[in-house]
Structure 1
């Protein structure tokens, strides 16, 4: 092979390697547009006025032992569960691990947690609504038989 061809191939390989190294950095440095951006300082409705617009069966039981209804920041969901639910906090593990990638941690949400502790079972329900749009972000329920 001639020196000119070797040099061209070297330049091509260097360009390809440089491109492969730089592409991930340029993608990671882009600003991600969140569906639910931070709104910590915006004025949103208090939970007492929001409750009237939601069907209670979405977030509670008719015989709820514990019912928590709060407006908080999304980043505080796990700490609120631990602080408010006491011995029932472990019953909400599916919610604790729920990663909603489109919600900024500084986003205001309405958090609903309910527990129905009966003789033979413990049932839980949760719902998270966006405080600005009123849209539901996640909800779920669980029932565990007592040992």
Structure 2
């Protein structure tokens, strides 16, 4: 009788451990847009030239324009490596709230245009999935400068 209770208890414990491991694994890999880092896609510039890029136009008076294919997890670091701290702080809306349905190892196209004059910093951006060409995120922003702000570090 004691042995049967121990066997039942052991089976229940192993079942719970197995289920938790399965659920955790499923949660980690259950992205709407899964990892595709091993696939080959054209560059962001070639994608733009193909005419498939719709709904995004760079500022005519832009000071900085980005067109880059990269992994979703590398977006923040890419932006930080390309702009001064002043721009990086002002572009926080682009990288501060990642989309949880996109695998960090998903390839994206990143387009961003920045216009900066004496009074205003304006930007707009578009993040597209490289495989489906569908938008992951897009937006724009405008920051009015105070007299003490400088453009570059």
TM-score (norm 2): 0.74
1:126 is displaced (CA, Å) by 1.4
Structure (1 or 2) with the larger CA radius of gyration: 1
State which of 22, 25, 28 in structure 1 corresponds to 2:24.
28
SS at match of 1:132: coil
Unaligned runs of 5+ in 1: 1-13
SS at match of 2:37: coil
Separation (CA, whole Å) in 2 of partners of 1:59 and 1:95 = 17
Equivalent residue for 1:60? 58
Contact 2:44 2:110 in 1 (8 A): no
Separation (CA, whole Å) in 2 of partners of 1:59 and 1:77 = 20
Residues 46-96 of structure 1: CA distance to partner in whole angstroms, max 9, x if unpaired? Answer: 2122113223x6252121110011001111000011011223111111112
Contact 1:59 1:112 in 2 (8 A): no
Q: How does 1:1-147 map to 2 (within 5 A)?
A: 27-30=23-26, 32-51=29-48, 52-55=51-54, 58=56, 60-86=58-84, 87-147=86-146
Separation (CA, whole Å) in 2 of partners of 1:26 and 1:133 = 29
Contact 1:67 1:113 in 2 (8 A): yes
Separation (CA, whole Å) in 2 of partners of 1:112 and 1:131 = 12
Contact 1:59 1:127 in 2 (8 A): no
Contact 1:59 1:113 in 2 (8 A): no
1:105 is displaced (CA, Å) by 1.0
Number of residue pairs matched? Answer: 135
1:129 is displaced (CA, Å) by 0.5
Separation (CA, whole Å) in 1 of partners of 2:136 and 2:118 = 32
SS at match of 1:82: helix
